[in-house]
Amino acid sequence: MFNVAVTDTSYDQPAPDQHADALENQFGLADRIVDEAALANSVERFRERGIRLPTFAQLADPASFDHTSMVGDADPQGPDARNLWRVHWYNDLAGGRVPVPEHVVLPTSLTGVESPIIVVFGDRFPMITAHKVLAAYACLAPRVVTGQFDPTRHRAIWPSTGNYARGGIAISRIMASRGVAILPEGMSRERFDWLDRWCENPADDVIRTHGTESNVKEIYDACNELARDPGNFVLNQFSEFGNHLGHLTVTGRALGHVFETVRAASGRDLRLAAFTSATGSAGTIAAGDRLKEEYGARIVAVEALECPTMLENGFGEHNIQGIGDKHIPLIHNVMNTDVVVAISDRATDDLDVLFNTDAGRAHLVDRVGVPADLVGQLEHFGFSAICNVLAAIKTAKLFDLGPDDALVTVATDGAALYPSERAKTITHRFGGDLDAVAAAEIYGRHLADVDTDHLIDCTERDRTRIFNLGYYTWVEQQGTPFALFEQRRHQSFWRGLRRYVGVWDDMIDEFNERVAGG
């Protein structure tokens, strides 16, 4: 059985004080109270605001606490600190708690493969209707309870291509601190509209960097400039190991629970063959480490074909918003990755139109034979969700998977975040309106016969090449100590990280006790 508190220190570690600063400050791996005065300030502010923090274990298993007493009548889309207790996969659309994370099993009529593809919905998360709010909490909460982040003097800086920045603004606001979102100026209008509503001073607290989804370095440059002010605290999702550990612990368990539920309902001896996840910051894909350990599932990393960084050391620009690229995140466990798949943003843009227009839905139901109730669920698929599903179809075909081989993935957000992008696609590609002919063309091009082009069934050499790409970002540009960078090659390093979850949970409990103590 997977144990989030496992300690493995078999890899070669530096001397106790060597690189301690980088572990605590750059990697977010403090296991002690770093600044007692800052911690005392947090305790006092949280006591004033009536804020109580959930542990990682509680978010992994929400049945372990009483939903009514912790959440009460909090508006799931409002800035209420009680929404911290909804930062898990077990919500329905109204903010109520469900016994199993809500999901859909895609049928052969839609995917063209016999293998069931299980998609777990991320738009049930509170405040931002996207699962990145979990990543934001997993990064900030350990920094608070270790006394590194002081809400009375620090601004939380949230670098992102969209949803993590929104999640960070939401989490920092309900944790009684000021947040600053950094994201490319070309992201969807809906993201900026949300930020304008949630930020008290959007002119100062929303920083728009050059470019779009592919321009991650520009975000780093803005962070490095802001970090010169000691009042700014950068929570970089690409290097904060709380992001990795949060998804390993919380998302990994949720996906396993969904798979077990689907297997029991199927009456078949299903095996979990693969987990597909667009890499982005490489937080979500950490759930694959758990699924691989428990079920033997392959871990499939997904990126945009227009910027094939892992696939062929490539570059470029794309519109699969939320998956980032042109670098390898520090928290990506590359050496545990089995497959790399590239998906075109032309496919995700077009299928978003197919799934969310009358002509598109009618084609799927009337011409393709997809059940109408299933088609009705496709509105919960954002761009990266469509990307993840296409990658699952490719994976099923690559390995010739059958009806007893399930694949699982996540819909990180829903189509509600992309109406402005959809309007652009309809205008520029379909003359302002999608008719039946155009709907048939989209289906035929992108779903009727998905190919197995643009993927790698990784060898050790492939993994090593991808791992090495990270050197240029993290060691040369961002100053990560080389010895720490290299330790990430070994699975013992990643297993050793798990001890922090138990340490942080104990510290969260102690923090809550101090807050309640008065």
Residue 149 CA to residue 153 CA, distance in Å, equals 9
Instruction: State the virtual CA torsion across 230, 236, 241, 244 in degrees, nearest 10.
Output: 160
Residue 96 predicted with pLDDT over 70: yes
User: Of 165-169, 178-182, 190-194, 256-260, which gets the smallest average pLDDT?
Assistant: 190-194
Residue 513 CA to residue 136 CA, distance in Å, equals 23
Residue 21 CA to residue 139 CA, distance in Å, equals 17
Question: In the chain, what is the straight-line distance between the N-terminal and C-terminal CA atoms, in Å?
Answer: 39
User: 10-67 pLDDT, tens per residue?
Assistant: 334 444 454 678 889 889 999 999 999 999 999 999 999 999 999 999 999 999 999 9
Pairing of strands 117-121, 103-106: antiparallel
Report yes or no: 387 and 278 within 8 Å, Cβ to Cβ: yes
Report yes or no: 237 and 125 within 8 Å, Cβ to Cβ: no
- Best CA proximity match to 115, nearest among 453, 446, 408: 408
Residue 398 neighbours by CB under 8 Å, 6+ apart: 339, 452, 455, 457
Residue 171 predicted with pLDDT over 90: yes
Residue 198 CA to residue 192 CA, distance in Å, equals 10
Q: Tell me the percentage of the chain whose pLDDT exceeds 70.
A: 94
Residue 287 CA to residue 333 CA, distance in Å, equals 11
Q: Read off the pLDDT band of 213 (50, 70, 90).
A: low
Helix (H) or strand (E) run with residue 56 in it: helix 56-60
Residue 495 predicted with pLDDT over 60: yes
Residue 156 CA to residue 140 CA, distance in Å, equals 8
Token pair, residue 444, equals 């035929």
Report yes or no: 440 and 363 within 8 Å, Cβ to Cβ: yes
Residue 71 CA to residue 454 CA, distance in Å, equals 45
- Best CA proximity match to 375, nearest among 103, 110, 94: 110
Residue 106 CA to residue 27 CA, distance in Å, equals 38
Report yes or no: 86 and 76 within 8 Å, Cβ to Cβ: yes
Report yes or no: 420 and 190 within 8 Å, Cβ to Cβ: yes
Report yes or no: 323 and 343 within 8 Å, Cβ to Cβ: no
Q: What is the mean pLDDT of residues 358-381?
A: 98
User: Of 48-52, 217-221, 310-314, which gets the smallest average pLDDT?
Assistant: 217-221
In DSSP terms, 158 is beta-bridged to: 181
DSSP 3-state of 85: helix
In DSSP terms, 174 is beta-bridged to: none
Q: What is the mean pLDDT of residues 121-137?
A: 97
Q: What is the pLDDT of residue 316?
A: 82
Q: Which is more confidently placed, 323 or 400?
A: 400
Q: What is the mean pLDDT of residues 161-187?
A: 91
Residue 400 CA to residue 380 CA, distance in Å, equals 28
Q: What is the pLDDT of residue 17?
A: 53
Residue 3 CA to residue 249 CA, distance in Å, equals 9
Residue 398 CA to residue 392 CA, distance in Å, equals 10
